[in-house]
Amino acid sequence: MALNKNMVKYIRHLSDKKFRDTEKVFIAEGDKIIRELLTTTEPSLNGFIPKQIYCTANWLNSLTSNTVKQYREKITILEPNELSTISQLSTAHEALAIITMALPLFDRHTISSTHSLLLDEIQDPGNLGTIIRTADWFGIRHIFCTRGSADIFNPKTVQSTMGSIFRVNVHYTDTAILLEKIKNTPAYPVFGAFLNGENIYSVNPGSCGLIVLGNESKGISQPLQQLISKKITIPRPFNIHTQTESLNVGVAAGIILSAFFGQRNAKKTHFQ
């Protein structure tokens, strides 16, 4: 079945945030991401439902018969060159899906017993996607973003998550109000990543808390700085001199979470 011009135009327009928000759908590309969505044992992952799937015959044949049967009415087989006309990537994959958006509702009680992330004006979609994927690795289920942060449904963000977008709840919210509420919650610390702070390998992460990561060039904004209860930093190796001023925020997120969760797991092992 060939694509008509209107559908090609529609799919291409989904690269625009305003159009995505109006249509309430976004694009995902690639075997891993789409296969993960289609083969889950649940009807949908976090409310995400495939609306239309475009793929090559070869990719379709790699799916189980039950999966094909379940989504048959939503699948359109295309030639590789046809997929290239609708792909948002420089090199098209064998599958592309249009998926309905699913933004989770925020319940403050869901984060009271674990760690979550707050991203302050993260601008690069690739960084956001990397952080979501990293958070998923460490079992973090909630990320809060300032409204000026990159869009979770940007094609580059979606691609960078490698499927983690379906498991991590990303909230766009008034973070100042959120932090005010959290700050008044006993035993729930707000950690902020700074160039000068307590060594992440010596700080006590506790069993819960909010970890704030700032903008790629400006760091954490002044209003949010005032609400942080513990400044933390990634230490430089001893006796190493470099002109590098800071780490990529996606890399920093991974190092901080590794330090925090490594300590927590070590304590659990120690007391078992």
What does the pLDDT read at residue 226? 84
pLDDT in tens, 127-160: 999 999 999 999 998 999 998 999 999 999 999 9
In this prediction, what percent of the chain has a pLDDT beyond 90? 62
Q: Which amino acid is at 58?
A: N
Question: Residue 15 and residue 8: Cα distance in Å, rounded?
Answer: 12
CA nearest neighbour of 145 among 45, 251, 253: 253
What does the pLDDT read at residue 271? 37
My answer on whether 239 and 142 are in the same domain is yes
**Of 78, 100, 122, which residue constitutes the final position of a domain?**
100
CATH number, domain containing residue 146: 3.40.1280.10
Domain count, the chain: 2
Confidence label for 25 from pLDDT (cuts 50, 70 and 90):
very high
In this prediction, what percent of the chain has a pLDDT beyond 70? 85
> Quick check: 244 pLDDT over 80?
no
My answer on whether 131 and 70 are in the same domain is no
What does the pLDDT read at residue 272? 39
My answer on whether 174 and 205 are in the same domain is yes
Can you give the pTM of this predicted structure? 0.89
**Of 100, 118, 152, which residue constitutes the final position of a domain?**
100
My answer on whether 88 and 125 are in the same domain is no
The DSSP H or E segment spanning 181 is helix 175-183
Q: Which of 16-25, 109-118, 187-196, 249-258 is predicted least confidently? A: 109-118
**Of 100, 132, 167, which residue constitutes the final position of a domain?**
100
Range of the structural domain that residue 29 is part of: 5-100
Mean pLDDT along residues 163-185: 80
My answer on whether 32 and 85 are in the same domain is yes
pLDDT in tens, 39-89: 775 545 568 999 999 999 999 999 999 989 999 999 999 999 999 999 988
**HSE-up of residue 29 (Cα within 13 Å, Cβ side):** 20
My answer on whether 252 and 147 are in the same domain is yes
Question: Residue 226 and residue 196: Cα distance in Å, rounded?
Answer: 15
Question: Residue 268 and residue 272: Cα distance in Å, rounded?
Answer: 6
My answer on whether 168 and 80 are in the same domain is no
My answer on whether 198 and 65 are in the same domain is no
